[in-house]
């Protein structure tokens, strides 16, 4: 995973709550066996059916920070939702709350999930809608979102922060304690099932 | 219960968690490393994970704790031919990966093929007190046995394949106590839909929930699986039910159930799992079972529901702007007018199936309603058993004849119309009564309008041509 320290970019305001992962990436795209190229499927149904949907509006071209309503990424565990956002160019998602699985998947891929209170999200929406070229900064080192002179802290536990800052590979980290895993395995109860 | 408690008293989820910590987190915020007793695999969320192993030159650490099946993409009209090329490619990728990495698989045509969360319990691989993961959010289903079971993303699938462990931050705990008894016409599905409409789709975020109380204990294992299955629909990390004699009897004698001395030792462990008296939960919800009625969703998330004898709500009555806007959008998508009686809403398609309600008891309940009746001319009904084994059992009981005589389609097993990755989809604008778990926009097909219901309501609706409960039919 690439390191993420401080990201500054323009933002895309998505005034919707309860955005489930079926909307972020419909099931038909899940048939693919690659890990990239999902930008065509991002918010596909809304892009096709809603003329006011902001994703492809020229003023939001190049936006790399998505600002959405509460409960972003609920529903299916499809990590493809994160891949689609990342393939589109997103580097962070700001929302009042996230589906747990989506949040975990995002952290795995270096897409920073930023939890801010609803009124902060409302303020950001207003700023970005008024001036789409506004630069928004997501700072993982200081755990802050900054726009012009304003800043808001966001929660990020020490461990997740270190992983992002150092671009750590979870599997390599875990395999460092391979011996501890083996000891645990040796002590597992014999009544536990084993696939034949 | 919430309140003062004995520090050494633990909840069910805490006991199972503690028993699986390979290495506790030591730095601030560092997660615990949990061992995974069972890793279920299917074709959709695994290809990139296996590719990752291959690229890194890693093997699967415990093929003997891993099992695969084909369910999301499989057709329900053939056991041999997958006509859609992209689906076929994905299924063939799983077959190659299982062969290369030595993983036991149950492909289309195999006697144990089926929806992954129907497979585990049916062969006795799902047992109490285990940790069970799968790249699918309805892994929550296995929590019905008192296991810690949750969905994971593809990166985590790769992590489990490589290490048989997962780093996990300890979640908060929540008790959902269901007091009293469910009425005779109220099923587990109605209970969980009512719960979600009461607490909201985000209420469980960050929590492992435990379903407790007499109404829960009275449920069969299949009923408990329906409840646990939909834990994810209100944001819970996992949903568990304490194992008891109902669970032990269910597991006993199945293919992977322990026997002899191992059975006795397993029972000792399982009996130690229920929440200790005096243990505390971080949050608590109470539901009154006798007040519950058959339920149906009207909107585009599982929390937007109402009792079957109710009406489509008026968004202007909703308390906060967010809920109001969401309800307005939902009603526009679902083409429903406020004040319309649910009984007056006609449906085009009825889908009986899914990991929520695709098991034998669900098929029996629907067959009881359809016996001697006909599916309305205006309705297409699909009956998709949750697995090949469920299908065989249903045929042994003659249920397929009931469905076919009524004019319903008796199909092969798979996820099917729950999420429309195979050819079983709604046409744009079609309205369905579905025993599945999600009514999101486009879930069952682009522009499809999904209403979630229980199996008896699905069957009665198929006969009436509009939403109905069995009691409404003559």
Q: In this predicted model, what pLDDT tens digit does every residue of A13-32 receive, in sequence order? A: 999 999 999 999 999 999 99
Residue B146 in tokens: 């008192």
pTM of the model: 0.94
Contact A79 B29 (CB under 8 A): no
| Whole-angstrom distance, CA of residue B208 vs CA of residue B226 | 16
Joined tokens for residue B421? 């990755």
Q: What is the pLDDT of residue A101?
A: 94
Dihedral class, residue B442 (left if φ above 0, else alpha if ψ from -120 to 50, else beta): left
Quick check: A189 and B265 CB within 8 A?
yes
Dihedral sign (CA B154, B155, B160, B162):
positive
> What residue ranges of chain B have pLDDT lower than 50?
1-6
The whole-number pLDDT of residue B10 equals 97
CA distance B309 to B293: 8
CB contact under 8 Å between A158 and B163, yes or no, is: no
Yes or no, beta carbons of B419 and A27 under 8 Å apart: yes
pLDDT in the model for residue B7? 55
Query: What torsion do the CA atoms of A124, A130, A132, A135 make, to the nearest 10 degrees?
Result: -50
Chain A residues with beta carbon closer than 8 angstroms to that of B35: 181, 184-185, 188
Nearest-neighbour CA in chain B from A132: distance (Å): 23
Interval B201-247: pLDDT, tens: 999 999 999 999 999 999 999 999 999 999 999 999 999 999 999 99
Task: Measure the CA–CA gap between B264 and B150, rounded to whole angstroms.
Answer: 27
Of B22, B72, B104, the CB nearest to A195: B104
Closest CA relative to residue B157, chosen from A78, A16, A12, A45? A78
- Closest partner residue to A100 (CB to CB) among B25, B135, B235 is B235
Beta-carbon pairs below 8 A across chains A and B: 205
The residue with greater pLDDT, A2 or A50, is A50
Query: Residue A18 gets which letter from DSSP?
Result: S
Question: Is the confidence at residue A2, as pLDDT, over 90?
Answer: no
Smallest Cα distance from A60 to chain B, Å: 23
What pLDDT sits at residue B320?
87
- The pLDDT assigned to B1 comes to 29
What's the number of CA atoms in the CB half-sphere (13 Å) around residue B309? 9
Interchain CB contact of A117 with B (< 8 Å): no
Greatest alpha-carbon pair distance for chain B in Å reads: 66
Taking alpha carbons only, the member of B415, B447, B416, B442 closest to residue B430 is B447
CA-CA distance, B98 to B116, in Å (whole number)?
15
Find the helix packing angle between B47-56 and B154-163, rounded to 10°. 50
Dihedral sign of CA atoms B339, B342, B344, B345 in order: positive
Cα distance from B143 to chain A (closest Cα, Å)? 16
C-alpha–C-alpha distance, residues A48 and A44, integer Å: 6
Do A100 and B205 lie within an 8 Å CB cutoff?
yes
pLDDT for res B474: 78
Residue A109: predicted pLDDT = 92
- Return the residue in A72, A183, A191 with the most chain B beta carbons within 10 A, the one to mutate for interface testing: A191
Which residue bears the tokens 């299917």? B42
Of the residues A15, A21, A77, the best mutation for testing chain B's interface (the one with the most B CB atoms within 10 Å of its CB) is: A77
Contact across the interface for B137 and A191, Cβ inside 8 Å: no
Q: How far is A148 from chain B (nearest CA, A)?
A: 28
Cβ-based contacts of A18 with chain B (< 8 Å): 201-202, 301, 326
Please write the tens of the pLDDT for every residue from A122-170. 999 999 999 999 999 999 999 999 999 999 999 999 989 999 999 988 9
d(CA A85, CA A106): 10
Cβ partners under 8 Å of residue B474, min gap 6: none
- What letter does residue A46 receive in the DSSP assignment? H
Q: Is the CB of A23 less than 8 angstroms away from the CB of B441? A: yes
Helix (H/G/I), strand (E/B), else coil: A109: coil
Distance of alpha carbon B235 from alpha carbon A176, whole angstroms: 33
Residues of A in contact with B87 (CB under 8 A): 31
* H/E element, A92: strand A92-95
State how far the Cα of B429 lies from the Cα of B410, in Å rounded to an integer.
24
Sign for the pseudo-dihedral over CA of A17, A18, A23, A24: positive
Q: What is the pLDDT of residue B5?
A: 40
Chain A neighbors of B30, CB-CB under 8 A: 158-159
Phi/psi of residue B38, nearest 5 degrees: -150, 125
Q: What pLDDT is recorded for position B98?
A: 98
Distance (Å) from the C-alpha of residue B367 to the closest C-alpha of chain A? 30
Displacement of CA A65 from its chain's centroid (Å): 10
**In chain A, residues 133-162 whose CB comes closer than 8 Å to chain B:** 157-162
- Nearest Cα residue in chain B from A156: B29
Chain B residues whose beta carbon lies within 8 Å of the beta carbon of residue A28: 421
Cβ atoms of B381 and B407 within 8 Å: the answer is yes
Closest residue, chain B, to A73 (C-alpha)? B235
Exposed/middle/buried for residue A187 (C-beta within 10 Å: 0-12, 13-18, 19+) = exposed
How far apart, in whole angstroms, are the C-alpha atoms of residue A51 and residue B268? Answer: 61
pLDDT given for residue B165 in this prediction = 98
DSSP bridge partners of A95: A115
- The half-sphere exposure of B428 on its side-chain side, counting CA atoms within 13 A, is 4
The CB density around residue B89, as the number of other CB atoms within 10 Å, is 16
Q: What is the DSSP letter of A59?
A: G
Local structure of residue A56 (DSSP, 8 states): G
The secondary structure of residue A10, as a DSSP letter, is: -
**HEC string of chain B?**
CCCCCCCCCCCHHHHHHHCCEEECCCCCCCCEEEECCEEEECCCCCHHHHHHHHHHCCCCCCHHHEEEECCCCCCCCCCCCCCCHHHHHHHHHHHHHHHHHCCEEECCCCCCCECHHHHHHHCCCCCCCCEEEECCHHHHHHHHHCCEEEECCHHHHHHHHHHCEEEECCCEEEEEEEECCCCCCCCHHHHHHHHHHHHCCCCCECEEEEEECHHHHCCCHHHHHHHHHHHHHHCECEEECCCCHHHHHHHCCCCCCCCHHHHHHHHHHHHCCCCCCCCCCCEEEEEEHHHCCCEEECCCCCCCEEECCCECCCHHHCCCHHHHHHHHHHHHHHCCCCCCEHHHCECCEEEECHHHHCCHHHHHHHHHHHCCCCCCCCCEEEECCCEHHHHHHHHHCCHHHHHHHHCCEECCCCCHHHCCCCCCCCCCCCEEEECCCCCCCCCCCCCCEEEECCHHHHHHHHHHCECCCHHHCC
Residues B202, A97: C-beta atoms closer than 8 Å: yes
- Judge: B156–A194 Cβ closer than 8 Å, yes or no: no
The residue of chain A with its CA nearest to that of B203 is: A71
User: How far off is chain B from A63, nearest CA to CA, in Å?
Assistant: 25
Q: What is the pLDDT of residue B102?
A: 98
How far, in Å, CA of B29 to CA of A156, rounded? 9
Q: Would an 8 Å CB–CB cutoff place A34 in contact with chain B?
A: yes
Biggest CA-to-CA distance, chain A = 64
What is residue A168's predicted lDDT score, i.e. its pLDDT?
A: 87
**Strands B305-307 and B172-179: what pairing?**
unpaired
Question: What is the dihedral sign for C-alpha A91, A83, B233, B317?
Answer: positive
Q: Which of B23, B153, B201 sits opposite A18 (nearest CB)?
A: B201
pLDDT given for residue B382 in this prediction: 98
Residue matched to tokens 């928004």: A136
Distances (CA, A) of A91 to A71, A73, A114, B70, B364: 18, 15, 11, 33, 49
Contact at CB, B64 and A195, closer than 8 angstroms? yes
């Amino acid at each position: 995973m690439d390191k993420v320290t401080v990201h500054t970019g323009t933002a895309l305001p998505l005034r919707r709550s309860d955005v489930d992962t079926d909307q972020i990436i419909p099931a038909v795209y899940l048939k693919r066996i690659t890990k990239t190229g999902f930008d065509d499927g991002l918010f596909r149904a809304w892009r096709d059916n809603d003329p006011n949907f902001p994703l492809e509006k020229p003023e939001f071209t190049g936006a790399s920070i998505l600002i959405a309503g509460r409960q972003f990424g609920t529903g299916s565990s499809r990590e493809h939702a994160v891949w689609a956002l990342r393939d589109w160019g997103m580097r962070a998602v700001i929302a009042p709350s996230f589906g747990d699985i989506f949040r975990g998947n995002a952290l795995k891929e270096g897409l920073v999930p930023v939890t801010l209170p609803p009124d902060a999200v409302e303020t950001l929406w207003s700023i970005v809608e008024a001036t789409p070229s506004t630069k928004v900064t997501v700072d993982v080192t200081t755990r802050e979102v900054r726009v012009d002179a304003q800043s808001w802290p966001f929660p990020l536990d020490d461990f997740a922060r270190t992983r992002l800052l150092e671009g750590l590979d979870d599997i390599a980290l875990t395999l460092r304690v391979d011996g501890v895993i083996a000891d645990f395995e040796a002590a597992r109860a014999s009544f536990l099932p084993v696939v034949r | 219960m919430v309140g003062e408690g004995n520090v050494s008293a633990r909840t069910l989820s805490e006991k199972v968690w503690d028993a699986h910590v390979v290495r506790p987190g030591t730095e601030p915020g560092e997660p615990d490393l949990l061992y995974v007793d069972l890793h279920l695999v299917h074709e959709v969320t695994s290809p990139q994970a296996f590719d990752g192993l291959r690229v890194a030159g890693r093997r699967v650490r415990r093929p003997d704790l891993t099992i695969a099946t084909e369910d999301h993409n499989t057709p329900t009209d053939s056991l041999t031919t997958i006509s859609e090329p992209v689906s076929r490619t994905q299924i063939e990728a799983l077959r190659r990966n299982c062969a290369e990495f030595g993983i036991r698989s149950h492909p289309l045509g195999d006697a144990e093929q089926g929806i992954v969360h129907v497979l585990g319990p049916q062969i006795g691989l799902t047992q109490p007190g285990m940790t069970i993961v799968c790249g699918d959010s309805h892994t929550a289903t296995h929590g019905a046995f008192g296991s810690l079971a949750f969905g994971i993303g593809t990166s985590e699938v790769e992590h489990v394949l490589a290490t048989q462990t997962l780093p996990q931050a300890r979640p908060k705990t929540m008790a959902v106590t269901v007091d009293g008894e469910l009425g005779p016409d109220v099923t587990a599905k109605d209970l969980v839909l009512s719960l979600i409409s009461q607490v909201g789709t985000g209420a469980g975020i960050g929590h492992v929930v435990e379903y407790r109380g007499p109404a829960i204990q009275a449920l069969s294992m299949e009923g408990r699986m329906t409840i646990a299955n939909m834990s994810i629909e209100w944001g819970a990390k996992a949903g568990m039910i304490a194992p008891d004699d109902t669970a032990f009897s269910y597991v006993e004698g199945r293919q992977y159930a322990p026997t002899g001395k191992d059975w006795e030792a397993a029972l000792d462990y399982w009996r130690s799992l229920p929440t200790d008296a005096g243990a505390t939960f971080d949050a608590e919800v109470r539901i009154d079972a006798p007040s519950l009625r058959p339920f149906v969703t009207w909107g585009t998330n599982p929390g937007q529901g109402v009792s079957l004898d109710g009406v489509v709500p008026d968004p202007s009555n909703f308390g906060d702007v967010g809920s109001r806007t969401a309800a307005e959008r939902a009603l526009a998508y679902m083409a429903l007018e406020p004040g319309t009686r649910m009984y007056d809403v006609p449906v085009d398609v009825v889908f009986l199936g899914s990991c929520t309600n695709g098991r034998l008891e669900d098929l029996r309940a629907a067959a009881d309603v359809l016996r001697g009746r006909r599916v309305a001319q205006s309705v297409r009904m699909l009956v998709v058993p949750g697995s090949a084994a469920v299908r065989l059992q249903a045929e042994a009981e003659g249920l397929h004849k009931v469905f076919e005589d009524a004019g319903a389609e008796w199909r092969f097993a798979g996820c099917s119309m729950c999420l429309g990755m195979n050819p079983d989809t709604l046409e744009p604008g079609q309205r369905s009564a579905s025993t599945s778990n999600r009514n999101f926009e486009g879930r069952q097909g682009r522009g499809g309008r999904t209403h979630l219901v229980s199996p008896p309501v699905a069957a009665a609706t198929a006969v009436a041509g509009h939403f109905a409960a069995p009691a409404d039919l003559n």
